[in-house]
Amino acid sequence: METRSTRIGLGVATVAVIAFLWLPLLLIMAYAFNSSTIQSWPISGFTFHWFHQAWHDPEVRSSLWLSLKVGLAATVIAVVLGTAAAAAIYRFRFFGREAVSFLLLLPIALPGIITGMALNSFFNFGGVQLSIWTIVAGHATFCVVIVYNNVLARLRRSSPSLIEASMDLGADGWQTFRWVIWPVLSTALVAGGLLAFALSFDEVIVTTFTAGAQTTLPIFILDNIQRGQQLPVVNAIVFVVILVTVIPVTIAQRLTGDTGVLRRGSSPPKV
């Protein structure tokens, strides 16, 4: 339908925008191998030294460890709560149904700073000491909705009569879950969990308000960028962080064909 010149023009624009999206990422990944401690382009030589140094830095290790623990805990909470909520919203029509789904969406609809501040003053008033669990609580609020969206989208694509058929054939609740519901849901759960983990592993805004004196990996990166300290080590960590988030997202996309952003509608292509 489009004329040849329109197609070519759009193709050129597409290449330009994709380059705009990717060049900065590739560039910052190249800095991880910079042999000089001065941040300038082009990099002056090639070295693996900074990966070695980052790996043996006790502060890096402890913040990485904290980020992994927080990500794991937030993901577990998100999977349990998000799945339960999605099942309830899918199966039942009840008073306040819209309100519940709106409530779950709030943490990503509102700016992160609101969520962070609100939790911070809540913990303050409640006399709760900031700890790993306050970070987990903060991350769980916006991770729940990721799992919820993934599971709900999958449920909507499957038929409720499957469950009724299973019950009619004499299966009890556990058997229905194990042989009917689980096979339908499992990939959506894994995908939702992976995305939730990736989100938590990167999160910095809510964390600044709920971490107190603790340092997660993104907080470590932010502090050092702002002070201009240990930038070569930061570059090496950044390289790894990019890879660590790219892998779960790619797997999640393959499992569901979902974007994690769009709620429903035209199904994105499978890769």
In the block, which residue shows the tokens 């990966």?
51
Applying CB under 8 A, does 132 fall inside the site for another protein? no
Applying CB under 8 A, does 22 fall inside the site for another protein? yes
Judged by CB under 8 A, the residue of 4, 94, 129, 213 near another protein is 94
Judged by CB under 8 A, the residue of 35, 52, 61, 173 near another protein is 173
Judged by CB under 8 A, the residue of 68, 76, 222, 251 near another protein is 222
Of 218, 229, 223, nearest in space to 64 by CA: 218
Q: How far apart are alpha carbons 241 and 150 in whole angstroms?
A: 24
- Where does this chain touch another protein (CB under 8 A) — which range of 68-76, 152-160, 172-180, 185-193? 172-180
CB of 87 to another protein, least distance (A): 5
Residue 46: strand pairing partners: 34
Judged by CB under 8 A, the residue of 47, 187, 214, 259 near another protein is 259
Applying CB under 8 A, does 162 fall inside the site for another protein? no
> Within positions 59 to 88, which residues make up the interface with another protein, using CB under 8 A?
80-82, 84-85, 87-88
Judged by CB under 8 A, the residue of 35, 37, 124, 186 near another protein is 124
- Where does this chain touch another protein (CB under 8 A) — which range of 47-55, 64-72, 179-187, 198-206? 198-206
CB of 62 to another protein, least distance (A): 19
CB of 188 to another protein, least distance (A): 17
Which residue stretches of the chain are H helix?
4-31, 49-55, 58-91, 97-109, 112-126, 132-157, 161-168, 173-176, 182-202, 205-210, 217-227, 231-256
Applying CB under 8 A, does 238 fall inside the site for another protein? yes
Decide: 12 and 215 in contact? Cβ < 8 Å.
Answer: no
- Where does this chain touch another protein (CB under 8 A) — which range of 49-57, 60-68, 179-187, 262-270? 262-270
Judged by CB under 8 A, the residue of 52, 91, 156, 178 near another protein is 91
Decide: 117 and 128 in contact? Cβ < 8 Å.
Answer: no
Judged by CB under 8 A, the residue of 67, 75, 176, 200 near another protein is 176
Q: How far is CA 165 from the centre of its chain?
A: 36
In the block, which residue shows the tokens 């460890």?
65
Q: How far apart are alpha carbons 84 and 78 in whole angstroms?
A: 10
Applying CB under 8 A, does 118 fall inside the site for another protein? yes
Applying CB under 8 A, does 262 fall inside the site for another protein? yes
Q: How far apart are alpha carbons 252 and 197 in whole angstroms?
A: 11
Applying CB under 8 A, does 121 fall inside the site for another protein? yes
Amino acid at site 198: A
Sequence-separated (6 or more) residues with CB below 8 Å from residue 181: 163
Q: How far apart are alpha carbons 130 and 116 in whole angstroms?
A: 12
Residues that bind another protein (rule: CB under 8 A) add up to a total of: 98
